[in-house]
Structure 1
Amino acid sequence: MTPEEREVHDKAQKEREEAEQAELPYKWRQTLQDVDVTIPVPKGTRGRDLQVELKKKHIKVALKGQPAIMEGELCKEIKVDDSTWTIDNQEEVLVHLEKVNQMTWWENVVTSAPKIDTKKIQPENSKLDELDGETRAMVEKMMFDQRQKAMNQPDSDTLRKQQVFESFKNQHPEMDFSKAQFQ
């Protein structure tokens, strides 16, 4: 694809993804550590009016005696003891899900929902700044590798191997590397 075709394709995919997400009965956002889900409920809803279940791989949010507003198998596992829910202004249920694997982006909250393209996620810089050095370095490496893959370029590990190989070749000009294969 030409850069122009890629841009048109990406724009169409983003619009489709946004339309699919807008049709869900909830809104959600995520960081590498957690997922926050906002579910509108009728004004005046109280905690006792709700049935909320948070399990390692399952979620259910319903008004008692009614079909679930949101229910299904979670995309990935959560830390149940660190996950919470609350009601905001008696009109929204706020569900905070703490991820078990804090190095991956979720494609969706429940597996039955449309997926998002996690390669297009741009973490907020302020949040990146809050990470400890080792985690931040890993996230930056993952982001670099994703950009390289999108451009059909070698990832950081391959680039490092190429540099080591070039350095070795320069240190040993007497050797013939014409038939050397690099993987």
Structure 2
Amino acid sequence: MSSSDAPTDAENKAAAAKEAAEQAALPYKWTQTIQEVDISVPVPPGTRARDLVVDIKSTSIKVGLKGQEPIMEGTFPKRVTTDECTWSLEDQKSVSIQLEKVNKMEWWEHVLTHHPKIDTTKITPENSNLSDLDGETRAMVEKMMYDQRQKEMGKPTSDEQKKADMLKKFQEQHPEMDFSNVKMT
């Protein structure tokens, strides 16, 4: 059951291999969560923090050694919250950078706009814990999960149950009324 528009397995594998090769050719490695982007920039062994230039702005970055061409420089595809961004020198051989996304609801296709893009539809988000969510969001997610389980078992959702409970209470308060033709919608 494949549409002529859908890529074949071979095409998918070729696209994934091309993407992997493009990403491997970058002068840095990067990963992301929905909230942040983590970058590792290799520097010559023995590099000290005072030898580095790391300039992170809301829409751009520059990383390199003082007095030399930057190892990494360019514009981000989306804005970052500079006050929440950090960097550190790891074992005197790489610069570890954490960028905090302003929009924590979207994936980045690339770190710098002039670099090759990745296919964000292939990203599998990490599992998040309900405890990581704020109260209102958590309550909404728990309600959705409950309603989904109820539907799977053929039972009423929380909203349907609430309507049924209200009708039952109203019927008890008004026994003189005929409710035989009531339809729940």
TM-score of the alignment, normalized to the shorter chain, above 0.5:
yes
- Please name the residue that 1:90 is paired with: 92
Aligned length: 138
SS in 2 for 1:21: helix
Q: 1:111 maps to what in 2?
A: 113
1:33 partner amino acid: Q
Following superposition of structure 1 onto structure 2, how do residues 1-183 of structure 1 map, counting pairs within 5 Å?
A: 2=2, 6-125=8-127, 127=128, 131-132=132-133, 134=137, 137=141
41-50 or 4-13, larger mean C-alpha shift: 4-13
| Cα distance per residue 1:3-29 (max 9 Å; x no partner) | 895222111111100000000000000
Q: Distance in 1 between matches of 2:9 and 2:124?
A: 17
| Alpha-carbon separation, structure 2, partners of 1:130 and 1:13 | 37
Runs of 4+ in 1 over 2 A off after TM superposition: 1-6, 127-131, 133-137
TM-score, normalization by structure 1: 0.69
Distance 1:128 1:23 in 2: 35
- Cα 1:90–1:131 change in 2 (3 A) is same
Give the C-alpha shift of residue 130 in structure 1. Answer: 5.8
Q: Secondary structure of 2:71's match?
A: strand
Q: Which amino acid aligns with 1:114?
A: P
Q: Distance in 1 between matches of 2:16 and 2:129?
A: 24
- Provide structure 2 residue ranges, at least 5 long, that are not aligned to the other structure: 145-182
CA distances 1:121-173 after superposition (whole Å, capped 9, x unpaired):
00122x46564273795xx9xxxxxxxxxxxxxxxxxxxxxxxxxxxxxx7xx
Q: 1:2 is matched by which residue type in structure 2?
A: S
Q: Could you tell me how far 1:63 is from its partner in structure 2?
A: 0.5
Measure the CA separation in 2 of the matches of 1:61 and 1:5. Answer: 38
Which residue in 1 is equivalent to 2:180?
Answer: none
Structure 1's unaligned 5+ residue stretches are: 141-170, 172-183
**Distance verdict in 2 for CA 1:117–1:81, change over 3 Å:** same
In the TM superposition, what whole-angstrom CA distance separates every residue of 1:62-94 from its partner, at most 9, and x where no partner exists? 101110100000111000000011000000100
What is the letter of the counterpart of residue 8 of structure 2?
R
1:10–1:128 CA distance, 2 compared to 1 (3 A): farther
**Greater share of residues in helix:** 1
Give secondary structure in 1 for the equivalent of 2:21: helix
Choose 1 or 2 for highest CA Rg: 2
Identity in percent: 49
SS in 2 for 1:85: strand
CA distance in 2, matches of 1:13, 1:65: 38
> 1:163: which partner in 2?
none
